[in-house]
Amino acid sequence: MNNTSHSDNGEFWTIINGLNLLLVFIVTYFFVYMQTQGLITADTRQHIHFMQQYFEGQVYIPHPLWHIGTYYLSHLLGVDYSVGASVFTAFLVTFYAMVIYKIAQSLDTHKRDYAKWFLITFVSLVIGPFFLMSFNSRIYLGQGSPSVWHNVTLLTLKPLALLSVFYTIKFFASNQYYHFILAVIVTVASIFAKPNYIIIFLPSLLVYMILKKYFDKRQLQFTLVTVLLSIAALAYQFTNEFGGKGEGSIIFDFLGVWSIYSPSIPISILMVLGLPLLITFFNYQSVKENEFIKFSWLLVFFAFVLFACFAEGGKHYSHGNFSWSWHLSLSLIYVFTIIEYFKHYFSMSAVIRYSLLAIMLYQLYVGWYFLIGMFNGINYNDAINTFPFF
């Protein structure tokens, strides 16, 4: 009878998750399609234009994974590029949702908590930063966000980065070549989606190995292979982007770009990292054994250094292109700390549990408001004049 009950529960949540993935695909499809039609502010139309020039040999794109996928899928389906871009991006976001779910399932000691894994996936996909309109009237700019929807190359990068962290830690825990190969593949592939992950992954990897004293032969092989392949790819990209054919340069500029968008950078950081910090603090004993969270915090640290210290010179200075590493690191630390929160939900005291839940629900509301607002034509960088219920 008990086995039948578990089986029925599993079938029910299989249907729910299937419907959820379908909803994720449909919402993402229409969201990106509206971007291609100019109804939502984003750089998707510009990327489609770059893609056409790229395949005509007119321009160089340093991270062409989204462009290649969109181009060939459009031709395979026989649709125009706006539809192809929408379908391909919807597939990527749906795949990202599947990765979050599977990782949550893999890291859970209770193997039948289908509702929990569904909830983790749902929250991780749309949660926004903590938002105070009186402090900064822009939800996304300044503090950053674990959920960013208007940049298709970042959406391409997210599932690869999440898999990279997962398989890298799995490799160091198991020392198996299976995880070695998978970690190298997804990590190097991420460079061609967007290089903002690899430039924080490499220093994090080196520091992590030193702190953990991972120096056996296979671990050093993994590091050497990953570093050499990554540096070769980055050198090629850098030469073409900032060399004779490209424009612009990289400059040291401490907090220059960040200060444009934030009234107070320390407060902005606390607002966006408050929930992961609190989850880490109140679950410190278990977090000490959680290598995924520890590695993700290293990524956050190096993303902060990168965004705080460097900028792109020239006409792209104010674009804050080094902030993409920051946004990505936020999504990673949120995924793993949200998993940690729900994993130890009932072992926390009621006061802590419900306080953290209240913060999470508020940020989930912010994330939904941010997403629905863009559907309604509000630019991602617009100031919010009224915030319903708050």
pLDDT tens-digit map of 153-207 = 999 999 999 999 999 999 999 999 999 999 999 999 999 999 999 999 999 999 9
Is residue 382 assigned to a domain? no
For residue range 142-153, what is the model confidence (pLDDT) as tens digits?
899 999 888 999
Residue at 105 is within a domain: yes
Cα separation, 28 vs 11, whole angstroms = 26
Determine, yes or no, domain membership for 368: yes
Q: Is residue 385, in this structure, part of any structural domain at all? A: no
In the chain, which stretches have pLDDT less than 50?
1, 244-246
What's 347's DSSP letter? G
Kindly report the pTM of this predicted structure.
0.93
pLDDT of amino acid 1: 43
Question: Residue 386 domain-assigned?
Answer: no
pLDDT of residue 75: 97
Taking the C-alpha atoms of residue 335 and residue 121, their distance in angstroms, rounded to an integer, is: 8
Residue 47 phi, psi dihedral angles, 5° rounding:
-65, -35
Domain total for the chain?
A: 1
The string over 44-69, giving b where at least 16 C-beta atoms fall within 10 Å of a residue's C-beta and e elsewhere, is: beebbebbeebeeeeeebbbbbbbeb
Q: How much is the pLDDT for 321?
A: 81
Q: Is residue 389 part of a domain?
A: no
Residue 381 counted as domain residue: no
**Contacts of residue 39, Cβ cutoff 8 Å, sequence gap at least 6:** 377
Give me the sign of the Cα torsion angle 235, 239, 242, 247.
negative
- CA 88 from chain center: how many Å? 17
Report if residue 384 sits inside a domain: no
Residues 163 and 105: their CA atoms lie apart, in Å, by 14
- Domain membership of residue 246 as a residue range: 2-375
